[in-house]
Amino acid sequence: MAVAAIKHIFNELHYEMTRKIAEGGMGVVYEAVQLGAGNFRKVVAVKLIREEYSALEQFQQNFIGEARLVADLIHTNIVQTYHLGHVGGQYFMVMEFVRGINLEQFIERHRQLGRPVPADLAAFIISRVARGLAYAHNKCDREGRHLNIVHRDIGPKNIMLAYEGDVKLTDFGIAKALDLMYNEEGKVIAGKDEYLSPEQASYVVTDARADLFPLGIVLSEVLLSRNVFFSTERAQSRRNILNLAIPQFSSLRPDIKPDLEAVLQRCFQRDRDRRYQSALDILTDLEMHLYRDGYGPTNEKLGIYIKDLFEVRDPIIPALPTRHPHVK
């Protein structure tokens, strides 16, 4: 559908499309303004799925399932979903607009500048992701049934950093949960090869602990500016997840303190019974590491750091919109 037609349709739905944020094979993400009575205006993100994918029954199920799942995930460390709709043969989702960057861009900026991410900020960012995961993993439905949510796609692209310093997990598009399981575990690998848990890489049925191994991968990547498991060959990345010797990270970066090293090593236990058993346990250990001696990182401190890093003087100006987690 032509852009002009899309804008016209959304205007009738009281959404003013202001600019394209990102575009991928399956859809487009727009920044939009939701309009209401009394000059009400709210900036949102609109994820619009291409017509050819919207017409596929399996894709419809996945997309609708994601929207249903995240609709009730209301937490400061998870990107909110406000509405699911269908117009002109295309499905769309209205989501919280995070004015900032994603963690991949944050890491890449440090690579460009040739400097490491401060270790305390790395630990703080991952502690906030762990906080959001702990909430999702423990979520129950309205009847009190545990939903058994597993995100299955933890990675830097799916972690948003707002200019104000908020850290938000997004993209539950391949999550599994009670009554929501479209990828057949045991036959299909869900997730990106270099951010898998050993269970995912081995085609084993997962539980919430499968999100904790890749959370360790992301923590190590923020600290080292590289993913130690990554290979240009996808199968090799999976083999690395299963077999690569786990390094002593403090030997690769000397300012990694023993208690942070211990967090990494426990995240990287391939036997999930020896790994952290919950995201809440990771959150607790990271906060003990950060605040044991008193004052430590805050959202405000992270926000100031991000604005300085990207030379953002006006927080209204969006930065680096070329890669966005909502588009595959």
Q: Using DSSP, state whether 17 is helix, strand or coil.
A: strand
Cα separation, 256 vs 155, whole angstroms: 21
According to the model, what pLDDT value does residue 171 have?
87
Cα distances (angstroms) measured from residue 211 to each of 23, 36, 152, 195, 208: 27, 39, 6, 9, 6
For domain 101-309, which architecture applies? Orthogonal Bundle (1.10)
Kind and range of the H or E run holding 109: helix 103-113
Q: What is the pLDDT of residue 319?
A: 46
Low-confidence ranges of the chain (pLDDT < 50): 319, 321-323
pLDDT attached to residue 180 = 62
Q: What is the per-residue pLDDT for 323?
A: 47
Which of 153, 171, 211, 285 is catalytic? The answer is 153
pLDDT of residue 322: 43
CA distances from 26 to 81, 90, 108, 302, 319 (A): 19, 11, 25, 32, 23
Query: Are 6 and 310 in contact, with CB atoms under 8 Å apart?
Result: no
Instruction: Assign domain 3-96 to its CATH architecture.
Output: 2-Layer Sandwich (3.30)
In whole angstroms, what is the distance from residue 114 CA to residue 70 CA? Answer: 37
pLDDT at 179: 66
Q: What are the structural domain ranges in the chain?
A: 3-96, 101-309
Task: Report how far apart the first and last C-alpha atoms of the chain are (Å, whole number).
Answer: 19
- Give the pLDDT confidence score for residue 238 in this predicted structure: 97
* Catalytic residue flag (residue 271): no
